[in-house]
Amino acid sequence: MQDSLNARTSPSDQTSAIIRVWDPLVRLPHWTLALGCITNLTVLRESDAAHQVVGYAVLVAVGVRVLWGFAGSRHARFADFLVTPRKLLVYVSQVIHGRAPRYVGHNPAGGLMIMALMGIVAATGITGWMMDQDAFWGEAWVEGLHEAGANTILALAVVHVLAALIESWHHRENLVRAMITGAKRAAKGSDLDHAPPSC
């Protein structure tokens, strides 16, 4: 995968190079999870067959993203954004004091959110599958876990969207567009790029 596009000018900064950060196997699972979870938490919440199909599609997307976190392009890899608790606390402190650096890839809090959402989505999908099995049919605890997972996904999604909007404003960079196009500004000045070398 080519990690950078030909340099071109950005409207806001004539000296900024635009690089490819999010490859298709980051973006496609991201939007599959987003649209699948929104659909299942709203219009298909009470529609068993369609709800299950969408739920399984979301589980496949999580599986693809987990595999790509080990074998993918530079910024897709977990090594790019998973940090120690201490480094996460340092970043949170920087955010609180308005001094958080711009990351080319995911920042530490974003990396934590990715892992939390993938874990909760997987657990919710698995409990949904369990609810359709004879061994767990009608089990209140399985249904309770599934419902709790769905509500947690909703809460985390709201935090995720708000954080993306705030960071977009803070760093003057449209992160929603970046997750659609895959392109962002290259690291410059105090920006951080912790991606491992290409293989």
CATH at 136: 1.20.950.20
Residue 110 within any structural domain of the chain: yes
| 96, 129 contact by CB (below 8 A) | no
Residue 195 within any structural domain of the chain: no
Residue 96 within any structural domain of the chain: yes
Q: In this structure, what token pair is assigned to residue 83?
A: 């940090």
Q: How many domains does the chain have?
A: 1
Model confidence at 189: pLDDT above 80:
yes
Model confidence at 2: pLDDT above 60:
no
Inter-axis angle of helices 108-131 and 85-96, nearest 10 = 110
pLDDT in tens, 143-157: 999 999 999 999 999
DSSP 125: H
Percent of the chain with pLDDT over 90: 76
Domain that holds residue 146: 18-185
Model confidence at 1: pLDDT above 70:
no
Inter-axis angle of helices 24-41 and 108-131, nearest 10 = 50
User: pLDDT grade, residue 4 (50/70/90)?
Assistant: very low
pLDDT of residue 16: 65
Residue 197 within any structural domain of the chain: no
Residue 12 within any structural domain of the chain: no
User: pLDDT grade, residue 48 (50/70/90)?
Assistant: confident
3-state per-residue secondary structure call for 31-92: HHHHHHHHHHHCCCCCCHHHHHHHHHHHHHHHHHHHHHHHHCCHHHCHHHHCCCHHHHHHHH
